[in-house]
């Protein structure tokens, strides 16, 4: 299964992009991405006009960075000594790679918006209602990953203690969209955060509006009561 970029933590995406700064490594990644099937080291080396050892080094580095994954398969047309040994093959783990500074998560926003429209069309309900439903469900799914604040940090919200005993979210993962479509995106964001709060054992009322520039439109009033 080829994942989207958002399946990788932000720091991993930055590292993956940095690793693609090497021309040979980037060309190998693009070759495997467009091959349509798993690729062996010999095939990749020949296609890129590289020594086999060089191709192997870069392919394994791409695996470590989460861009490729390995599978082992016996070649059906191979005979002779060693023919019973499965070949080491590479296929994409990600269909694309993107990252931004500060961290944004437009992949997640796109997924929620598209899912909301699809549900609206399928069930004949207003898009706004469907969007809140799918955002809440996605928040509950992602909130099961662990501690609420850790989940938010992993998604790029940058929770930081505030004087009121809660947490201000210093970064908006949907910043550009929220500037142009504030009502839609902030409502979607609030539903997503409340879903994640519920999955972590918190009262969804812990997610409250937080108006003002330079940070997320929501604040976490308390994390008391979170499941341990």
Say which CATH number the domain at 77 has: 1.10.10.10
Does residue 113 sit in the same domain as residue 76?
Answer: no
Extended strands (E) in the chain? 39-40, 68-73, 87-92, 159-161, 167-169, 207-209, 218-220
Number of domains in the chain: 2
Which range of residues forms the domain containing residue 20?
A: 5-92
Q: Compute the C-alpha angle 139/144/147, nearest 5°.
A: 100
pTM above 0.85, yes or no: no
Contacts of 106 (CB under 8 A, 6+ apart): 173, 174, 176, 177
Q: Compute the residue count for the chain.
A: 228
Burial class of residue 205 (count of CB atoms within 10 Å of its CB; 0-12, 13-18, 19+): exposed
- Residue 98 structure tokens: 């993107």
Domain boundary, last residue among 92, 127, 142: 92
Does residue 110 sit in the same domain as residue 36?
Answer: no
pLDDT tens digits, the chain, 228 residues: what are they?
445 555 667 778 788 888 888 999 999 999 998 888 899 999 999 999 999 999 999 999 999 988 999 999 876 555 555 556 788 999 998 777 776 777 788 889 999 999 999 999 999 999 999 999 999 999 999 988 778 999 999 888 999 998 888 999 999 999 989 999 999 999 999 999 999 999 998 999 999 999 777 789 999 998 775 654
**pLDDT at res. 11:** 77
Question: Strand, coil or helix: what is 87?
Answer: strand
Does residue 139 sit in the same domain as residue 196?
Answer: yes
Q: How far apart are CA 103 and CA 151, in angstroms?
A: 14
**pLDDT at res. 184:** 96
Does residue 77 sit in the same domain as residue 111?
Answer: no
In a domain, 100, yes or no: no
Q: What is the CA radius of gyration of the chain?
A: 22
**pLDDT at res. 78:** 56
Closest CA to 185 of 104, 81, 74: 104
**pLDDT at res. 117:** 97
**pLDDT at res. 193:** 97
**pLDDT at res. 9:** 75
């Amino acid at each position: 299964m080829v994942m989207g970029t958002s399946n990788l933590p932000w720091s991993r995406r930055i590292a993956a992009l940095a690793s693609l700064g090497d021309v040979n490594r980037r060309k190998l990644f693009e070759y495997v991405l467009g091959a349509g099937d798993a690729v062996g080291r010999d095939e990749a080396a020949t296609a890129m006009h590289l020594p086999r050892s060089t191709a192997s080094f870069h392919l394994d580095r791409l695996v470590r960075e989460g861009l490729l994954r390995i599978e082992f398969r016996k070649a059906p047309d191979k005979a002779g000594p060693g023919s019973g040994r499965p070949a080491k093959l590479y296929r994409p783990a990600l269909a694309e790679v993107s990252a931004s500074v500060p961290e944004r998560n437009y992949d997640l926003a796109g997924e929620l918006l598209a899912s909301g429209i699809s549900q609206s069309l399928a069930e004949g309900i207003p898009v706004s209602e469907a969007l809140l439903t799918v955002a809440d469900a996605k928040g509950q799914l992602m909130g099961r990953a662990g501690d609420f604040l850790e989940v938010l940090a992993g998604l790029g919200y940058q929770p930081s203690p505030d004087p009121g005993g809660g947490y201000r979210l210093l970064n908006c993962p949907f910043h550009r969209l929220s500037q142009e479509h504030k009502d839609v995106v902030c409502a979607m964001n609030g539903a997503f955060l409340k879903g994640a709060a519920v999955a972590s054992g918190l009262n969804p009322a812990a997610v409250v509006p937080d108006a003002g520039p330079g940070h997320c439109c929501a604040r976490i009033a308390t994390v008391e009561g979170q499941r341990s």
